[in-house]
């Protein structure tokens, strides 16, 4: 873990979630570094798993009304809401052992939380818990000889958007259901005095040694891969 390289972009600007999915893929396919890591944030966005039927997981009408973007990823797993109040983690490494890679990623998240003075555990579903509440979830995507693990770290979030955007049926929005969702997740800001930018800096210094800044031409290559994530036949929102 100590030799993990942080992958940085040449300029700071707001990008779509699809760009970062493409960035993971580009790093996995083209970067000759055994262990790579980067963190990112996006405007309000819903991301759903490779095999999910969007209309069963996402309140599409609500997302369109509120300008919440919707993207499909190539990894499996469930539907996730992200915004600038939380941090997305991307880890790319060599190997074919899925279980080992998940274990390594989860231990990284637990290490960061311990540095923050937060006691956390993991579940058999590769979720990170503070007490009985989830603060981080993960998903996995494998390429020949390379693994991509990405996860969320809930520092803060627009809870109303989260609850409404990923619960399409009106029945699920009844008070009881909303309360049960609130009770299942927790926010890191309630357990630390550090601001979000300080948490991001701590993640980077704890996990990474050295930095590899991508070139503008490499960013262009990532943007070409991103086009595959933007195709309507890939996203498959039917309504």
CB 226 within 8 A of CB 19: yes
Residue 239: C-alpha distances to residues 109, 130, 171 (Å):
37, 37, 19
| % the chain with pLDDT above 70 | 92
Least-confidence region, from 40-44, 54-58, 69-73: 54-58
Query: Does 172 have pLDDT greater than 50?
Result: no
The answer, yes or no, to whether residue 169 has pLDDT greater than 80, is no
Task: Write down the pTM of the prediction.
Answer: 0.91
- Whether the pLDDT of residue 205 is over 90: the answer is yes
Which of these ranges, 22-31, 41-50, 166-175, has the smallest mean pLDDT? 166-175
Whether 182 contacts 190, CB under 8 Å: no
Average pLDDT over residues 39-43: 97
Sorting pLDDT into bands at 50, 70 and 90, what band is 127? confident
Task: Please give, one letter per residue, the 3-state secondary structure of the chain.
Answer: CCCCEEEECCCCCCCCHHHHHHHHHHHHHHCCCCEEEEEECCCCEEEECCCCCHHHHCCHHHHHHHCCEEEECCCCCCCEEECCCCEEEEEEEECCCHHHHHHHHHHHHHHHHHHCCCCCEECCCCCEEECCEEEECEEEEEECCEEEEEEEECCCCCHHHHHHHCCCCHHHHCHHHHHHHHHHECCHHHCCCCCHHHHHHHHHHHHCCCEEECCHHHHHHHHHHHHHHHCHHHHCCCC
Dihedral of the alpha carbons of 153, 60, 238, 142, in degrees to the nearest 10: 0
Q: Is the C-alpha dihedral spanning 220, 213, 148, 125 positive or negative?
A: negative
For 7-18, what is the mean pLDDT? Answer: 95
Is the pLDDT reported for residue 58 higher than 70?
yes
Q: Note the Cα 222 to chain centre separation in Å.
A: 18
Q: Quick check: 149 pLDDT over 70?
A: yes
How far apart, in whole angstroms, are the C-alpha atoms of residue 44 and residue 171? 23
Question: Which stretch of 13-27, 50-64, 101-115, 161-175 has the lowest confidence by average pLDDT?
Answer: 161-175
Rounding to the nearest 10 degrees, give the CA dihedral for residues 204, 185, 74, 101: 50
pLDDT in the model for residue 180: 56
Q: Find all residues with CB under 8 Å of 234, minimum gap 6, and list them.
A: 72, 228
Across residues 88-109, what is the average pLDDT? 91
């Amino acid at each position: 873990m100590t030799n993990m390289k942080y992958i940085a972009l040449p300029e700071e600007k707001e990008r779509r979630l699809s760009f970062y999915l493409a960035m993971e893929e580009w790093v996995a396919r083209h970067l000759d570094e055994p262990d790579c890591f980067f963190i990112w944030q996006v405007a309000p966005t819903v991301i759903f798993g490779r095999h999910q039927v969007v209309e069963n997981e996402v309140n599409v009408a609500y997302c369109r009304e509120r300008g919440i973007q919707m993207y499909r990823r190539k990894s499996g797993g469930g539907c996730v809401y992200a915004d600038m109040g939380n941090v997305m983690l991307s880890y790319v490494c060599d190997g074919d052992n899925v279980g080992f890679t998940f274990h390594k990623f989860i231990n990284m998240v637990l290490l960061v939380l311990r540095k923050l003075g937060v006691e956390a555990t993991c579940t058999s579903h590769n979720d990170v818990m503070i007490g009985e509440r989830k603060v981080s979830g993960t998903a996995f995507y494998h390429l020949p000889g390379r693994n991509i693990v990405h996860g969320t770290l809930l520092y803060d979030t627009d809870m109303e958007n989260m609850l409404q955007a990923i619960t399409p049926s009106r029945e699920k929005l009844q008070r009881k259901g909303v309360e049960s969702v609130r009770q299942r997740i927790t926010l890191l800001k309630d357990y630390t005095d550090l601001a979000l930018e300080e948490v991001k800096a701590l993640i980077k210094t704890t996990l990474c040694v050295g930095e590899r800044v991508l070139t503008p031409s490499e960013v262009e290559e990532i943007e070409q891969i991103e086009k595959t994530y933007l195709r309507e036949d890939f996203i498959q929102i039917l309504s």
